[in-house]
Amino acid sequence: MYTGIIWSIFLLISGLVLIFTRMKHHDYNLTTNIVGILLILIAIIIFIFSFIRVVPAGTVGVVDLFGRVSDIERKSGLNFVNPFAKLEIMNIKTEEIKEIMNVPSKEGLSIDLDVSILYRLSPEKASDIYKTVGPDYRNIIIIPQFRSACRGVTVNYEAKALYTSSREEISHKIYEDLQGLLTERGIILEKVLLRAIRLPATVSYAIENKLKAEQEAEQMKFILLKEKKEAERKIIEAKGIAKAQEIINKTLTPAYLQHEAIKAQMMMANSPNHTTVYIPSGDNGIPLVRILEDGDSSKRK
């Protein structure tokens, strides 16, 4: 950070020496004077530019002048800063921390939890973080608190819950606990991502078998309910058929049957290609009819 100042002092001294020392020699001329003046001008320009610092996009600058930290953060772009001060660049963009940690469950099982968080530094708190923690706040504050929050939450849940819909609840609970710890330090927690959970092989196998048995039981309940509904449908259908037959039997009087038989016989008798033979009937008064084709009629003759 002192490179510009050192160069400006060096060039300034060189220009002044060149001008004043060469004036005592007999070969001094205007060219030597111009070179000395140029060196002095370059030294002045370098000294002025040493006040200008560039803060990259997505960062803020914290000014540290011999241990005294300014409370005003420098925003991205060009900033005028004391050339003797140190400008610490601190990232305020969203960052991610990925962790695969061993956490306990409510039953005392050890579970490998693959989880990550998204966070960013609050621009207004950069100076406070720098003064109280330092640039390595990620490893000093965030990671230890992150691990502690995860273990504090999973210990209240059974291993089975991590395999079911409770995963979202666990993720939300970690977010709430960790947010309270980080916000007061000037760190904004955006999201907690619960990516993968690895249980011991025997426990995982037992849980999968239990879930499979529960699914099969639910499926059997569905089949039994379906069969019950089908039986009820058949009973209703049988009752409907019986009721219909009862109604039909009440309307089938001998007179109605005789009328329908005569009507059918008259229709067949009007056919030109058939011979109608009437056969006396029994006591019900309905004649029996036999329809003969023309060939049959000729053979009979």
Domain 95-199 sits in CATH 3.30.479.30:
yes
pLDDT of residue 238: 83
Q: Identify the DSSP state of 3.
A: H
Q: Which pLDDT does position 268 carry in this prediction?
A: 60
29 contacts: CB under 8 Å, gap ≥ 6: none
Q: How far apart are CA 15 and CA 46, in angstroms?
A: 14
pTM, two decimals, is 0.57
Please list the ranges in the chain whose pLDDT falls under 50.
297-301
Q: What are the two backbone dihedrals, phi and then psi, of residue 118, each rounded to the nearest 5 degrees?
A: -110, 130
pLDDT computed for residue 122 by the predictor: 92
In what side-by-side order are the strands of the sheet with 187-198?
A: 95-104, 110-121, 187-198
Angstrom distance (rounded) from CA 6 to CA 47: 9
